[in-house]
Amino acid sequence: MTRQMTGARMVVQALKDQGVDTVFGYPGGAVLPIYDEIFQQNDIRHVLVRHEQGAVHAAEGYARSTGKVGVALVTSGPGATNAVTGLTDALLDSIPIVVLTGQVPTFMIGSDAFQEADTVGITRPCTKHNWLCKDTDALSETIHQAFHVARSGRPGPVLIDIPKDVQFANGEYSPPQATNTSNYQPQLKGDIESITELVEALESAERPVFYTGGGVINSGPAASQLLRELVDATDIPITSTLMGLGAYPASGKNWLGMLGMHGLYEANMAMHGCDLMINIGARFDDRITGLLDAFSPGSKKAHIDIDPSSINKVIRIDIPIVGDVGHVLEDLLKVWKARGRKTNKAAIAKWNDQVAQWRSVDCLSFKQEGKIIKPQYALQRLEALTKDHDRYITTEVGQHQMWAAQYLNFEDPNRWMTSGGLGTMGYGTPASIGAQMAHPDSLVINVAGEASWLMNMQEMGTAMQFRLPVKQFILNNERLGMVRQWQELLHGERYSHSWSEALPDFVKLAEAFGAKGIICSDPDDLDDAIMEMINYDGPVIFDCLVEKHENCFPMIPSGKPHNEMLLGEASTHDAIEAGGAVLV
């Protein structure tokens, strides 16, 4: 059934029909008709950000923490171009968002009108799909299709560019159930013969490893539960990419921790030495593989992914399975159980003994001495004092991000939001706002570096306006930490522009926004200061002054295999004793 309404009203009605309750945006001339419709309703909350990049990152944080599609609304021209970084971030990390942009009227397109940009052309490379909707009658169906594309298959960002005259004009509204989505129906069920082949490989493997990614989380809670059942039943070690943390609990006995460039020693050594690698919902990112020719050289490789283009894109796969992680794991468990729940138990027990030997290296060990806070210690204490809370963590990008992944533990999916593929400095603050809007009663903490945090600090105004008690936990080393580390290790200690000059007083800055500011420089005061942050009912900027020249280890240098990691001095001897070839 259809009914007449303006294009602007169609937008709002379509969002309601898609179950949207929150939109992050910034108004401008080309979207004022839509904003006028938003003003006249109460079902959808609009969150006014301070920058369009913040709107898209907030929508990402909302989506990642809920499993739903995030929505951003921005104007034409600079509004749309400011959204490009967020769109690219969401594309690389497979985050489902819908971005609505205003456009100049159709009769002015191509005339270099005020605030005109070729939004569809600009965003084509950084969206899963985009549309320029010139027909009001087609607008509602386009929006419903956009939500379908964003959430289906490998999730990702989509964009709809809506000219202003289309918003004013009347047209026929079509509800979601009348929308034809048959032209995009990704394969959900995996090939049963390939699944059976994987089960056969699993039954005989002597040194198997599960390598999981964000695709497990994107598939939904059932996929994480099936993964846990499979790991616990087979007693096979499991590691994860940065994006997959929480799919398997950090407290699980088979957990190896994160792998990759700054992954744990035991995870990287297991990946290097396994004879069966089962990739579940990960894309063989270069930060994971390291030197391609030396990546897990002796293993048979299986890859479960809903995106066919990911199969054999980077690494040659022996057992490819295209399908949704949840569906494939369900069938894999059924086949494995029907065949008698067999594994090579003696060999796997020996393999787990080797893993335990690698784990005993304790590659994350550090010494907290003196009166300067080690960044590892700051995050260790943050974990201890917040782990029992209903907690969501976002991060900025840099050393602090890697330390957060190493020292904070996640028991459930959708609790960890970080910029993985694009590595977007400025992601964390708006993402924390999106997560806090979705979970108003939860503890939301953004782990930041001072340089990254300054990139979108204006969003503290959004936090204050909407009374969002987000906690900004800044590890302040007065350096572009990861840049400085690479310059030290790889560029002859030539520190070209890696100092954070002219930093603000973060306490005064917090107070200028109306938030609470806390500064801590003494490890003896850290616990009390963290508790003060947690207990404060409102936004907090926590300025944690840490060791300025601390490096983030373990680290696989560029061009090196997994078994040639740089470790901190405390772990090097133990690693060599445990059978690892370690560069020092």
Which residues are catalytic, by number? 52, 114-115, 164, 482
**Count of other CB atoms within 10 angstroms of residue 138:** 17
Dihedral Cα 366, 368, 372, 376, nearest 10 deg: 40
Other C-beta atoms lying within 10 Å of the C-beta of residue 182: 6
For residue 285, what is the enclosing H or E element? none
Q: Which H or E element spans position 448?
A: strand 443-449
Kindly state the tokens that stand for 333: 């468990």
Phi and psi angles of residue 333, each rounded to the nearest 5 degrees, phi first: -65, -40
Q: How far apart are CA 484 and CA 99, in angstroms?
A: 35
Cα–Cα distance, 235 to 237 (Å, whole number):
7
Token pair recorded at residue 368: 């907290």
Q: How far is CA 361 from CA 108, 366, 526, 572, 574, in A?
A: 66, 12, 27, 8, 5
**Residue 112 has which token pair?**
């270099």
What radius of gyration, in Å, describes the C-alpha atoms of the chain? 24
**Residue 48 has which token pair?**
């006014």
Q: How far apart are CA 379 and CA 404, in angstroms?
A: 7
Distance CA 33, CA 30 (A): 8
Alpha-carbon span 494 to 488, nearest angstrom: 7
Distance CA 198, CA 28 (A): 54
Of 94, 68, 325, 69, the residue nearest 188 (C-alpha): 325
Retrieve residue 230's tokens: 């499979």
Q: Is 375 exposed, middle or buried (0-12, 13-18, 19+ CB in 10 A)?
A: buried
Q: How many CB atoms lie within 10 A of CB 165?
A: 17
Contacts for 59 with CB less than 8 Å, ≥ 6 apart: 24, 70, 71, 72, 86, 97, 99, 434
Residue 157 in contact with residue 127, Cβ under 8 Å?
A: yes
Alpha-carbon distance of 248 to 216, in angstroms, equals 9
Q: Which of 10, 22, 105, 103 is nearest to 65 (CA)?
A: 22
